[in-house]
Amino acid sequence: MSPSRPFALTPGEPAGIGPDLCLLLARRAQPQALIAIASRTLLAERAGQLGLDIALLDVGPGAWPSAPAPAGSLYVWDTPLAAPVTAGHLDARNGLYVLETLSRAGRGCLDGHFAGMITAPVHKGVINEAGIAFSGHTEFLAELTHTEQVVMMLATRGLRVALVTTHLPLKEVAAAITAERLTRVARILHADLVGKFGITRPRILVCGLNPHAGEGGHLGREEIEIIEPTLQRLRGEGLNLIGPLPADTLFTPKHLDQCDAVLAMYHDQGLPVLKYKGFGAAVNVTLGLPIVRTSVDHGTALDLAGTGRIDTGSLQVALETAYQMASPR
């Protein structure tokens, strides 16, 4: 059964393409009720700049819709800007506005008003220029929801890739692959594949760290000393983990056709393959949160804001993924 609660959509950096994406998306009806948490004035001005005739339907606490908005319209929970916006031009005065949209969406999910939240890209630099310590959506939402451990997973149609380590220099990766970290990440990945994707017994392929998965210790001992023993212990808990496998052969149809997700050891081991397969139609999913959160896989594209020369593919996949994740819940 489809959730009767609406989903929250945050347009991110107001000078970027996030508002454009929301408006372009509204040309067609969505299968679920979707609320843009944004400045109504911003959306109206950007719609005029894009030449779009989109009806902005006001909603708010106590008046949440359950039915999808008709094609050519968009539900909006008006969130005031701090300063006027010019497409393509950052203004640090609106840093707090961006965080307020995220707070409203996150708290609405926690309170049970929203079935999940989908985020368009923010500009971390301009938020920090506003005097606000901000390292990204993931960290912000982890703090808001009091979540100690989260996992980054990117997905496109036919492939999901989760990461044991994320934004680390390559020289630091090996030391960061510990039994404790691998255990936490694998448990979260397994739990969310079951609880948020409705996969009864997920089959997870695990990459080795070294070329040829260490080749029996000749090309590194992390597989022998850390990865293999940890996977074996987790199998004892009921996790269906295959590996560690050489990453250069794991990402082939022979293996991928039989799996539900891949667990890569580091950022550039797994994500180049996924982005080659689905760039422009991929989604970033934060696992481990008590709420559903998905995001586009691209940045603010300031140079394209207000031009109409953008592709909504990644946002559409982010929406589809959020709808899927909310259904088992």
Residues annotated within the binding site for a divalent metal cation are: 167, 212, 267
Question: What's the Cα-to-Cα distance from 17 to each of 52, 119, 129, 147, rounded to whole Å?
Answer: 15, 12, 20, 29
Phi, psi dihedrals of residue 56, rounded to the nearest 5°: -95, 115
CA dist 130 and 149 (Å) reads 27
Per the listing, tokens 């982010």 go with 318
Residue 5 identity: R
Return d(Cα 285, Cα 119) in angstroms, integer.
Answer: 10
User: Residue 161 and residue 267: Cα distance in Å, rounded?
Assistant: 10
User: Which of 50, 22, 53 is CA-nearest to residue 36?
Assistant: 22
- The pair of three-digit structure tokens given for residue 116, joined into one six-digit string: 């999940």
- In the annotated binding site for substrate, the residues are 137-138, 275, 284, 293
According to the 3-state scheme, what is the secondary structure of 126-177?
A: HHHHCCCCCCCHHHHHHHHCCCCCCEEEEEECCEEEEECCCCCCHHHHHHHC
